[in-house]
Amino acid sequence: MRTLISAAGLAELLVAGPAPRILDVRWKLGGPPGRAEFRRGHLPGAVYVDLDTELAGHGEPADGRHPLPALADLQAAARGWGLDDGDTVVVYDDLGNMSAARAWWLLRNAGVRDVRLLDGGLAAWRAEGLPVVAGEEPVPAGSVTLAPGSLPTLDADAAAALAEDGVLLDARAAERYRGDTEPIDPRAGHIPGAINAPTGGNLDANGRFLSAAALRARFEALGVRARSAPGDGFDVGVYCGSGVTAAHEAVALTVAGFTPALYPGSWSQWANLPDRPVATGAEPGAGTGASRPSHARRH
């Protein structure tokens, strides 16, 4: 199945049919929610999806800031978006697909086969002169049935092992990876052995994904290699602050032809586990041992 769809390709699909279910996943860390922006203008037929309430669970700090939602909750939300079994789903946002990728990953992981990101998001749609509509219309309930576990995931132990014995990518900005600053989570730095690969490097100046060849070259330069055999599981692990933009890195790795494993708890979980070591600086580094949590504000 294809991972990306262009604005022109989506417009053609809407005319030729069958029409896909379109999900608008506008969200920014710290808010406000994107529903107001959605109501001001969205793709025709799109349904608004709230990342914080529909694409994440809620638990203790040691679960991370955006733990995966319970399958029953995700299925109820997906039915509320009007999804039925066999639907093609297109997701987008207005932030380079940094938040829409979370919906892509969750739905793919839950067994929805044909989920695509609108390459370039809302900006690409508008750049083609295609229409947007205002307001919000009721959506007939769908009947989709979801099942967990279609994509590989990592817990903290597996992430630590992969950072030591394989390749674990940290998708956060370089200053957070280095530990120069940490505005959200209680400790600064990165998982020892993880390699920094900020998500911004996946996109061109127009907010579209780089070509598959360019993405493959990027990740190969960071040490990512394909599995020796199809049954080996996955090629590379990825995490970020709370598991949201790590899904964007997973998209880029998928486009590049690799099979990524996502660490959903990501740094927000790791930093709240006091026995987990932390590395700082520009290199993958060795752990410095447990450190005292700061009083950073949680979102």
Is 209 a domain residue?
yes
Structural domain including 38 reads 4-127
Is 295 a domain residue?
no
3-state secondary structure 253-297: HHHCCCCEEECCCHHHHHCCCCCCCCECCCCCCCCCCCCCCCCCC
Section 140-161 average pLDDT: 96
Q: Are residues 224 and 182 in the same domain?
A: yes
Which helix (H) or strand (E) is 89 found in, with range? strand 89-92
Pairing of strands 115-118, 46-48: unpaired
Binned at pLDDT 50, 70 and 90, residue 16 comes out as: confident
Number of domains forming the structure of the chain: 2
Note if 169 is an active site residue. no
CA 97 vs CA 196, 288, 298: distances in Å? 20, 34, 23
Is 252 a domain residue?
yes
> What does the pLDDT look like over 159-216, one tens digit per residue?
999 999 999 999 999 999 999 999 989 999 999 999 999 999 999 999 999 999 999 9
Res 103 pLDDT > 90: yes
- Sequence length of the chain is 299
Crossing angle of helices 212-221 and 245-255, rounded to 10°:
110
Token pair 């979370």: residue: 102
The set of residues, in sequence order, having a beta carbon less than 8 Å from that of 53 and lying 6+ positions away, is: none
Q: Are residues 160 and 259 in the same domain?
A: yes
**CATH label of the domain that carries residue 98:** 3.40.250.10
Res 288 pLDDT > 80: no
Section 29-58 average pLDDT: 91
Per-residue tokens: 262: 């996502």
Is 213 a domain residue?
yes
> What does the pLDDT look like over 211-237, one tens digit per residue?
999 999 999 999 999 875 445 589 999
Is 287 a domain residue?
no
Q: Are residues 176 and 102 in the same domain?
A: no
* Bridge partners, 279 (sequence order): 190
Q: Are residues 101 and 13 in the same domain?
A: yes
Q: Are residues 123 and 214 in the same domain?
A: no
How far, in Å, CA of 9 to CA of 7, rounded? 5
Q: Are residues 63 and 176 in the same domain?
A: no
Q: What is the pLDDT of residue 111?
A: 97
Is 284 a domain residue?
no
Q: Are residues 165 and 54 in the same domain?
A: no
CA dihedral over 26, 29, 35, 41, signed as positive or negative: negative
Binned at pLDDT 50, 70 and 90, residue 297 comes out as: very low
> What does the pLDDT look like over 233-252, one tens digit per residue?
899 999 999 999 999 999 99
Strand order across the beta sheet in which 46-48 lies: 4-5, 115-118, 89-92, 21-24, 46-48
Section 287-299 average pLDDT: 41
Crossing angle of helices 245-255 and 100-109, rounded to 10°:
70
Which helix (H) or strand (E) is 251 found in, with range? helix 245-255
Q: What is the mean pLDDT of the chain?
A: 92
Q: Are residues 248 and 200 in the same domain?
A: yes
Q: Are residues 107 and 220 in the same domain?
A: no
Q: Among residues 240, 251, 262, 279, which one is catalytic?
A: 240
Q: Are residues 11 and 119 in the same domain?
A: yes
Single out the residue of 121, 115, 118 nearest to residue 103, CA to CA: 115
